[in-house]
Structure 1
Amino acid sequence: MFVENETNEKSEARSNTNAVPEPYSIFDKRQKALIVFIAATAATFSGFASNIYFPSLATISEDLGVSVELVNLTITSYLIFQGLAPSIWGPLSDAKGRRITYFCTFLVFLGACVGLALTPNYATLIVLRSVQSSGSASTIAVGSAVIGDITTREERGGYMGIFQAGLLAPAAVGPVIGGALANALGWRAVFWFLAIYCGAFLVVLIISLPETLRTIVGNGSASPSNPIARYPLTLYQRTTKIKFSPQAQPVQAAKKATIDIAGPIRILFSKQAAPVVIFAAIYYAVWQMSITAVSVLFSERYGLSETQIGLTFIANGAGSVIGTLITGRILDADYRRVKVKHEAEASQSGSETETEQSSQPEHDDVNFPLETARLRLLPLLALLQCVSIVTFGWTIQYHVHIAVPIVTTFITGWMVVSIVSVITTYLIDVFPQHKAASSATVNLARCLLAAGGTSIVTPIIGSVGVGWTFTIAVAAQLVALVGLAIQWRFGGKWRVEAEEAKVGAAQSKE
């Protein structure tokens, strides 16, 4: 998508040593903060639509006259479409723009919420939950792509941490709001709340979010021709743009891409992504199994009400938010440390001059040890999650004081969202031309596995008990570490091979 533009910019920079380098993004810190805030708020809808629902499972079961297992299938259907929908919306976002994709997804979500608030039976409930998921889930992929549009690798980890914190905040407050609304006004009030929240935010998004897709606006300096890509606060945007030298010409948008719906599937099955994506998906699925089981287990074994169950989710949500913020900062620090070391080694070897290094786009250097810079934390995060999950299962099995399993949900939330955040950031670095599609790939794998896990967790608990259920889950997590090891060992080599193949294909066309 960007090959021609990047090659031209690179050759121009080398031929004219006096040329002023154009910034990767023209937005300053204030403007980036606004964009990240909007993207993070948009992402809250996915978490709210999922987590706000958990305390009401037993009540919905009684009201609609179906079993808890059938109500749990609405979680399964939600997760299935949460995985599938971004595979459509993500490529649309990469081709047509972030703003129009956001607008379409929120219209779908709004309509589904109104329908759910009025749903008369279980069949309507499960269908509209799937539609609702199709609208809300894509905010994660599109939001991740927006962050990738406006940030360099060096700062991306921190901004992704902030974005993930917004995405995961509903894990803390969503169940509390849901439990309170269900107790006071009934479970349908949960969906009226989401409909009102969506309508109000959609107005804010249309007014405040600029188009960031680099094939449309370049680094932000190109003016979009499509009226939908424009937004009302252009005057404010101009006051917050980075001031650059008159010698530097605005970066023009690259040739527009076509919608590639198969893109996320190809990324998922590529050797550059498959091992680490499967690793993340298994850890995410086990987490979803644990929080799905919490509502019923805490109700049956500890006698908690809907409101009390909602309060227990605060620990999980707090761990998720705190963990991703801290992990984002560590990612940035790791990247800077590895970058300094890599540049020093390159300088000593004489493979590149300082001028050539400084003029290269951030993703040109395929020899950069990206796996070292991004994946170093994952083994520790994975092992800590394993410990917390197995502790969660056996403490509930033996009816240990409820404070202990609640603390384990804090640890699990911290670890798993950090794992997903790290891998999402890594894939955006590996596939810079397909940011939304690479994020959709993570969604696809983790949500489909989670859908399977949540559909079987209750029957397994009924057969072998809570302790053994989550012991088996941890065994699967330990096996998944093999995927991480493969990525660490061969990821750099595979990236080099993919770049060489791309260059060879481009030369053969010429």
Structure 2
Amino acid sequence: MSLNDKSPETSLNEKSEPKIDEQDVLPVPKPAYTAFTSRRKWFAIIIVSITGFLGPLTGNIYIPILPQLQQVFNTSETAINATVSVFMAIMAIAPLLWASWADFGGRKTLYLTSLLLFILANILLAAVPANIGALFVLRIVQAIGASSVMSVGAGTIADLVPPKERARAISYFMMGPQLGPILGPILSVIASGGHWRWIFGFLAILGSLVYLVILFFLPETLRCLVGNGSRVPMNGWFVQPHLIQRRIITEEEACNYPKPPKPSLKGYWSILKYKPVLLCSFNSGLLFAGFYGMSVTFARRLHDDYGFSHLEQSFAYVCPGVSLITGSLIGGRLSDHLRKRMKRKHPERYTPEHRFSLQLVGLAISMCGLLGYGWCIDKHVHVVAVFVFTFLGGFGMTWVFVVTTTYLTECSSGQAATNVAIGNFFRNACAAVSSVLISELTDKMGFGWCFTGLALLDIIGFAIVLLLMAKGPAWRLQWEEKKRGVAS
């Protein structure tokens, strides 16, 4: 037998295992980021945006009627302002609890649970006798119910929208919360003539309608439970209502979607030690303190210094409200454009921290707005100038805010809602302190110097942004390596 002859066994093996040309092997296509259709995805974003409208609406519909409530409840200006502070304080703390469970047990469950508390609190506020103690307690419950949506909503966006389009989607989502400062004061006119209870009745009705829309039309999106949504059971636009979503993807598929550990105090402390989240959140808190000091004093100064009626005060809030929306939309689009350009020119060098360069512009605009607003009020400059600087303050703040929120959804995998909730904690905590102290500070320091101090806090923001741009990539790499080490 020659060396070229082949045995029958060899021939049989060759027939049973034919050679495959490497060119015939096609790469396994990568699953789409989301299996929801574009229409279904944007419908979900609209739903969570409307839901996000409830918290800011609840806070801002209340502010213009503070003088009326001060008389009805027979209390001091400081005490009635404290009902704003306690609301903001709870809005700061409660999302930490809501969001961690939303990253672990499902988005929809948290929406439905928190909204029930919100509806109940507003029904009681509309019905119980006027008592300052009851007002404080029910404002706390109201805030607990309204607090989940900002952080959980950002988590829903992260589930549905890939990073390359996320800043634009978040800017649209933020239009819901940002309509609160516009429509809240306008809608407060239903309290004119002493009918302040109608405000809480209106909020209860609106909350109930939103609850039904979420129950029947919003699918669960948490990726460690439903993956990219390809297996979520739906009948057209209708979703079978249920409170708890069980995991519907396999164990193997679940490995592709990071799942955070169960919520715990240790877990919160670990995330707070993560420098990018901590610094981002602290920066947003300082910025929001200045804006909220401006927002809380705006109506009273227009009334006392410029003779605005209650109706005129309410419509005046259109100015800062429009500034929030325009700053968000422009900042979001520019942030995505900056990411796209950097990925195209230097794909190997791109990091999420590149978005921060836009924040330097927003911080400068915010600083100008706070300085101008304070000194215009102090020197009784024409009211048009007050509106211009109020617009700039809101525009710069939300320009920074949309970039920060987008970054918080990108800087750590599997816990977008928790990261945004920590940012929300710092913002609302600073707003609570600002709203309770601003009257005393302006009385003792004068408006000009008080708001000069608030504006100078933005210098800290400049330093934080530059630090994150320089050190953020290394900090993120260390964090991810640490998470992988714990998981293994």
Instruction: Give the structure-1-normalised TM-score.
Output: 0.85
* Residues in 1 aligned to 2:67 and 2:252: alpha-carbon distance in whole angstroms: 56
**Contact 1:114 1:195 (8 Å CA) reproduced:** yes
Instruction: Report what 1:236 is aligned to.
Output: 237
Instruction: Report what 1:302 is aligned to.
Output: 306
SS in 1 for 2:253: coil
Instruction: Report what 1:10 is aligned to.
Output: none
* Residues in 1 aligned to 2:486 and 2:205: alpha-carbon distance in whole angstroms: 50
**Contact 2:182 2:320 (8 Å CA) reproduced:** yes
Cα deviation per residue 1:269-322 (whole Å; 9 max; x = unaligned)?
321222222111100111111101112222221222221111111000011111
* Residues in 1 aligned to 2:252 and 2:373: alpha-carbon distance in whole angstroms: 53
* Residues in 2 aligned to 1:56 and 1:311: alpha-carbon distance in whole angstroms: 13
**Contact 1:22 1:251 (8 Å CA) reproduced:** no
**Contact 1:222 1:251 (8 Å CA) reproduced:** no
Runs of 5+ unmatched residues, structure 2:
1-24, 240-249
Report matched runs for 1:204-283 at 5 Å: 204-223=213-232, 233-236=234-237, 252-254=253-255, 258-262=261-265, 263-283=267-287
By how many angstroms is 1:250 displaced? 12
**Contact 1:273 1:427 (8 Å CA) reproduced:** yes
| 2:300 equivalent to 1:323 | no
- Which of 133, 136, 145 does residue 135 from structure 1 map onto? 145
Instruction: Report what 1:444 is aligned to.
Output: 425
- In structure 2, relative to structure 1, the CA distance for the partners of 1:250 and 1:166 (3 Å cut) is farther
By how many angstroms is 1:73 displaced? 0.5
**Contact 1:316 1:413 (8 Å CA) reproduced:** yes
By how many angstroms is 1:205 displaced? 1.2
- In structure 2, relative to structure 1, the CA distance for the partners of 1:237 and 1:110 (3 Å cut) is closer
Give the aligned residue type for 2:162: T
- Which of 156, 159, 173 does residue 163 from structure 1 map onto? 173
Report matched runs for 1:57-68 at 5 Å: 57-68=66-77
* Residues in 2 aligned to 1:323 and 1:455: alpha-carbon distance in whole angstroms: 27
Report matched runs for 1:65-144 at 5 Å: 65-119=74-128, 120-144=130-154
* Moved beyond 6 Å, runs of 4+: none
Aligned residues: 450
- In structure 2, relative to structure 1, the CA distance for the partners of 1:308 and 1:481 (3 Å cut) is same
By how many angstroms is 1:261 displaced? 4.2
**Contact 1:51 1:174 (8 Å CA) reproduced:** yes
Instruction: Report what 1:245 is aligned to.
Output: none
Give the aligned residue type for 1:235: G
Quote the RMSD (CA, aligned, Å): 2.0
Give the aligned residue type for 2:395: W
- Which of 335, 342, 349 does residue 346 from structure 2 map onto? 342
Instruction: Report what 2:469 is aligned to.
Output: 488
* Residues in 2 aligned to 1:272 and 1:121: alpha-carbon distance in whole angstroms: 44
Instruction: Report what 2:52 is aligned to.
Output: 43
Cα deviation per residue 1:437-457 (whole Å; 9 max; x = unaligned)?
011011111111111111110
Cα deviation per residue 1:464-495 (whole Å; 9 max; x = unaligned)?
11111101111222233222221111001111
- In structure 2, relative to structure 1, the CA distance for the partners of 1:250 and 1:39 (3 Å cut) is farther
* Residues in 2 aligned to 1:335 and 1:237: alpha-carbon distance in whole angstroms: 35
- Give identity over the alignment, percent: 27
**Contact 1:165 1:322 (8 Å CA) reproduced:** no
| 2:198 equivalent to 1:189 | yes
- In structure 2, relative to structure 1, the CA distance for the partners of 1:33 and 1:131 (3 Å cut) is same
Instruction: Report what 2:20 is aligned to.
Output: none
Greater Rg by CA: 2
By how many angstroms is 1:105 displaced? 0.6
SS in 1 for 2:346: helix
* Residues in 2 aligned to 1:212 and 1:48: alpha-carbon distance in whole angstroms: 25
* Residues in 1 aligned to 2:33 and 2:238: alpha-carbon distance in whole angstroms: 16
Instruction: Give the structure-2-normalised TM-score.
Output: 0.88
Instruction: Report what 1:375 is aligned to.
Output: 356
Give the aligned residue type for 1:236: W
Cα deviation per residue 1:406-459 (whole Å; 9 max; x = unaligned)?
222222111112211111110110122101101101111111111111111000
Give the aligned residue type for 2:335: L
Cα deviation per residue 1:185-243 (whole Å; 9 max; x = unaligned)?
622111111011111111111111000000110010234xxxxxx7xx533379xxxxx
User: Which is worse superposed, 318-327 or 154-163?
Assistant: 318-327
Instruction: Report what 1:226 is aligned to.
Output: none
Runs of 5+ unmatched residues, structure 1:
1-15, 224-229, 239-248, 347-366
Instruction: Report what 2:391 is aligned to.
Output: 410
